[in-house]
Structure 1
Amino acid sequence: MLKGDMLNGVFLRMVSSLSDGLEVRKLHISEVPEGWNQEMILNGYTLSIKGCVSVVDSAFKAMSNNHLSHLQEMHISGCWSGLSFPGNSLPRSLQKLKIMDCRKLEFPQQQPEQKYDLVELQIEDSCHSLTSLSLDSFPNLTNLEISLCLNLESVSMSEPPHAALQRLTINGCHKLVSFAGEGLAAPNLTHLSITYCDKLEAFPSHMNTLLPSLHSLCIGACRKICKVPEGGFPPNLKELVLEGSDEQMKELSWMANLGALTKLTMDFSCVRSFTQVGLLPCLPSLTTLHLCYFQNLETLECNQLLGLTSLQQLHISYCPKLEKMEGEKLPSSLSLLKIQDCDLLGELCKNKHEPIWPKISHIPTIEVNGQQISE
């Protein structure tokens, strides 16, 4: 393996070569501590660098000198030193950028006149100095994933609509308080996931009109979100994941306008009886219901599910205290009951215990921890 100075010299000579440097389409950069193996591999259009901070810094400088003018994709990981993009901007040719475990890396400031051609942007446990991200700077962005960006306070938009955005995921941004101001105007957004954002108090406003193509929505462990968005959820929503406490979602009548919903996952850790989260409204298109991580759920009320006339699959997982079923029986439309890591209920089902068995025996397929129970 080459030492840092030698590797740096080889890199500088290579990127200044017309035959090699300009052929690089993908660049993978990672920093390793002194004494660790350092290497550089050029494989086709992909250049992978595992080296010290001087090599990483040289790679950044090479971008500003147009030695990597055809660069389309860049992965940066494990860079613990304080670095910043040259000229405080991204390469013009860059289409995909993934940054992982680079907490001190300075993300370029977004200026109103500065537009980038990025299609995909992923930031994970990195760029901790970043406090705001403007979608205006990335008009072609289709996929945005931000995770553990600990000082991010806002994701903004002042030039709506953002027609390119299709997937948006934000996770573990504990200081996030603002979300696109007056609303996230993204007419082609199909997937939205917001989880573990402790200070976020509201859904993006006007979701029902500004997100007409939204099919999948996940809202998890955002403790301050207690209100349904103004105007309700998008009418074409097909998959919904809700994770929170019974205080947040004890009134579920707001779900009545979700006529297109086919899959619902609910995770309420404080609930003892399913009646605490209210009667599920009629969801005529719902085919799959997943109840998971109800750590204190002791009783499943069968009658609470009778409004789900199209329900085909019921998945119950990680409910360690669940051992009772009340009501006549589970919906007759069910074709699959799947129980996973619910020791008390699972054992009763396997033993066809009274009065549990009469409530589920009409279901063609019953699985407990992957094992099918025969009639």
Structure 2
Amino acid sequence: MFEYRLIAQDPETGARAGEFVTPHGVIPTPVFMPVGTQATVKAMSPDELKQIGAEIILSNTYHLFLRPGPDLIAKAGGLHGFMNWDRPVLTDSGGFQVFSLAGISKVMDDGVEFQSHLDGTRYLMTPELATQVQEKLGSDIAMCFDQCVKLPCSREQAQDAVERTLRWAARCKAAHTRADQAQFGIVQGALFDDLRAACADELARMDFPGYAVGGLSVGESHAEMYRCLDALMPHLPERKPRYLMGVGHPANLIEGIARGVDMFDCVLPTRNGRTGTVFTRDGRMNVKNRRYAEDFSPIDAECDCYACRNFTRAYVRHLYRAGEILAVRLLSWHNVHFLVQLVAGARQAIVEGRFGEYRREFMTRYEGGAYLEKV
């Protein structure tokens, strides 16, 4: 039911194009997954996401556990039926959300005791419960419950988190019962290459259908992220998909692909859309700036998304300053489209044997772009 097929590989880097077969469709990789935290990608409808080219979306176990609850979603036919999305869905385990709520959570060997940010109710999330919740959500890909540590951290803290993550991964695997759901293990280890390698080696022995890299994009530099990926990738099985969690900066996507990453997700495109910032090949643009007040050119002249084909910078700036919802919708539409198509373009370049050129051209323009602004 789940199979990773390698289609092409760049001879100069680790970049690869493949397909991951799931019950709700074949996912072409590399792929960017828009985040639908609460069973919706903010400001976007499912039909709009399909127009953009989204092949898979991510939903959040922690938030859906608290509201509306996994039992209700199961009654609706799982996430696919609940949110009317007939393509693949990935659910995270809630581990990162618990990490981000460190002030109201307590990590124990059995699980994590946390306080709901909605009403203050206390819960104990265990590996078994995280697995059961995701089975009720009915996602195609479910993540093991893991422990993410805050950076910087000591080696002892990182090692404790790795050992706990491995124990929890074994418990998640033992609790998992759905044959129509692929469960991915998550590699932790902070910025310690040997700990990450050991974690990956042990997870590989557990033989999960896919593997994720967690605990990055949490404050480290881009150089540190790339160094970790360079050291880690040889320890991840070649015939299984590789998922870099929570990464959405355009440069990080291209550099992650160059190192053999297959899957990415991030809230950045819709979050930036809500703050008036858009991605272009020449850097980030803040449409709130006065310089665009009488600029009647498209948001991005090289983009063919709905927003760029139909509206000007001046108009979108006006909408944003007036507090109109359409501004957030258009900016989010463009940003999601930009990242989905950026990664799809990288895939096509790999297939056509020109990824090195694609990478160099994008990085040169983006990092020296005319629109790079303090946003």
More strand by percentage: 1
TM-score, with structure 1 as normaliser: 0.27
Structure with higher helix content: 2
TM-score w.r.t. length of structure 2: 0.27
The answer to which structure, 1 or 2, has the higher relative contact order (CA under 8 A, 6+ apart) is: 2
